[in-house]
Amino acid sequence: MGICCDLQVDVNGEEIFYVDKRILVSFSGRLCKLFGKAACTTSPLKVIFHDFPGGAKGFELVARFCYDNGRIDMTPYNIILLHCAANFMEMKGGSSRLPDLIDQMEKYFEGIHRWTWSELVLCLKECQDLSAVPSSSTLLQKFLNMFVAKLVFLNVASPCASTSDKSSSQFSSDISGDSIKSYSSQAAWWFEDLKFLNIDWFEKVVHEMMSKEFDHSMICSFIFYYQRSNFLCASPATEKGKIIEAVINLLYSLDKSSISSRGLFCLFSLAVFSKVSKSCKMKLEAMVGSKLDEAKIDNLLIPSPRGKKYMYDVNLILRLLKSFLVENQFSTGRLDKVACLMELYLAEVSADPYLKPSKFMALATLLPDFSRGSKNRIYLAIDMYLKVHSGLCQEEKMKVWSILKCEKHSAESLIDLAKNYKLEPPGACTSQRFKHKSFVQDTKHIRYVSNDSRFYAEHFLLYSN
């Protein structure tokens, strides 16, 4: 780079540049302070940089600017790197008559509205690569602000826009029909282009979208798309955990009504087996609990934590159920759906030989009585549980049987259950003396249930008004 090469510059150990010290010192405040009066000496000097932004490529850009007397071809592909390198070298002109590189770049940024989508995405990649540079934070935030603002504009103005013709489609003009790409959702055309973001920049972009009042449903779709695209290929397990935590925290900031139930339950199943902080788990449980009425039985069949003998994580489901009841205890329609779901869940877990009676009863009784749907499901779940847990003492069996509401079951079914397990009838069934209609009308006689649990069928409480 010129005839006089009296300065060696070692850039991050990548490459050594031989440059004209006088030329670079005249533009660089950093070198000027470094050499001081030594700038006039003819002795060869050497400077070593260990943390030069962009390495050899970044230094070469500012060196060319200096050698070309303050001129350089700025493009969306080099503007971020050039800005970081210029700040590092302190190339602010100040009172000098020499061209001010930083001032030139700020003026160049004013034309960002003319950049193509491809140029914006590549510039965003540069921002991500150089985000660790302290002096770059101001410009990076400025670009991020502009990037999301233009994305909002483009998404509203032309929701079918795409990157297939990135060299010609500009924000300042209409998007050509030839540039339309076939995505599953036309409004989501930009998802694929942003899946390269690392976790930190993914969060930055989404937070910026929120600040611009971007449609929350669209943000939610992008979050789940990013999760699906990056989770499986992430390694090690800690990286997977970071992705899940980022997704949970971002979703938690959105309007609840905008969050996809399907995506949420998928995230829920992944989070169970990922290394996620306690606070994130609590946020996720709160979100899943609020949509419990939209769950399927498969969503709830979560295996028990490692080291536990019982089959399914009943404690987790109880927490979800309590979370749901906090907001929906008076919503009859939603309660009915959850009641039906919990009856199905009871049928699944009743065959678990390690499920404690207290947990089984908690699942069966946590919902209000009026919301319980099928009397047969509860009956069958109790029947199965008592068969599997035949070793329970009489008192525990009675507690389990007390879940049944006599008025919702026929005398025959209660008699059969009592006979099978040698039980006394629930308290409600013996509080008054009523006669079974069919027995009174047809047989007019007394039937014994069993020798061990002697009681009359006419003692059952039958509400047959």
Which of 80, 108, 136 is where one domain is finished? Answer: 108
DSSP assignment of 149-173 equals HHHHHHHHH-TT--STTTTT-BTTS
Residue 65 identity: F
Residue 57 CB contacts under 8 Å (≥ 6 apart), including other chains: 81
| CA torsion through residues 267, 268, 272, 277, sign | positive
In a domain, 446, yes or no: no
| Torsion of Cα atoms, 222 then 223 then 225 then 231, to 10° | 160
Q: What is the rounded distance in angstroms from the CA atom of residue 272 to the CA atom of residue 261?
A: 17
In a domain, 250, yes or no: no
Length of the chain, in residues? 465
In a domain, 123, yes or no: no
Q: What is the rounded distance in angstroms from the CA atom of residue 242 to the CA atom of residue 224?
A: 14
- Which pLDDT does position 99 carry in this prediction? 82
In a domain, 314, yes or no: yes
In a domain, 200, yes or no: no
Per-residue pLDDT of the chain (465 residues; tens, 9 = 90+): 445 788 999 999 999 999 999 899 989 989 988 887 665 566 778 999 999 999 999 999 999 999 998 899 999 999 999 999 999 999 886 555 778 888 888 889 888 888 999 999 999 999 998 877 776 677 888 899 999 998 988 877 655 554 444 433 444 433 333 333 443 456 788 999 999 999 999 999 999 999 998 999 999 999 999 999 999 888 888 899 999 999 999 999 999 999 999 999 999 999 988 889 999 999 999 999 999 999 999 999 999 988 888 999 999 999 999 999 988 877 888 998 999 999 999 999 999 999 999 999 999 888 876 666 556 788 888 889 999 998 998 889 888 878 876 545 555 666 666 666 555 555 444 443 333 333 333 433 333 333 333 333 333 333 333
- Which pLDDT does position 147 carry in this prediction? 93
Q: Which residues pair with 280 in a beta bridge?
A: none
- Which pLDDT does position 421 carry in this prediction? 57
Which of 380, 397, 418 is where one domain is finished? Answer: 418
Q: Could you list the residue range(s) of the whole structural domain that residue 42 is in? A: 7-108
Q: 128: which 2 tokens?
A: 């991500």
Q: What is the CATH number of the domain that holds 24?
A: 3.30.710.10
3-state secondary structure at position 46: strand
Alpha helical stretches, state H, 5-71: 21-27, 29-35, 55-67
- Which pLDDT does position 406 carry in this prediction? 53
Confidence (pTM): 0.79
In a domain, 2, yes or no: no
Q: 10: which 2 tokens?
A: 């070692």
Q: 255: which 2 tokens?
A: 């309007």
- Counting the structural domains of the chain, the total is 2
3-state secondary structure at position 48: strand
In a domain, 54, yes or no: yes
Q: What is the rounded distance in angstroms from the CA atom of residue 296 to the CA atom of residue 265?
A: 9
Q: What is the rounded distance in angstroms from the CA atom of residue 275 to the CA atom of residue 231?
A: 13
Which of 86, 108, 130 is where one domain is finished? Answer: 108
CB 290 within 8 A of CB 319: no
Q: What is the rounded distance in angstroms from the CA atom of residue 397 to the CA atom of residue 393?
A: 6
**CB-count burial class (<10 Å; 0-12, 13-18, 19+) for 448:** exposed
Angle between helices 55-67 and 79-88 (to 10 degrees): 80
3-state secondary structure at position 1: coil
- Kindly report the number of other CB atoms within 10 A of residue 52's CB atom: 22
3-state secondary structure at position 312: strand
- Which pLDDT does position 442 carry in this prediction? 40
Residue 465 identity: N
Radius of gyration of the chain from Cα atoms?
Answer: 35
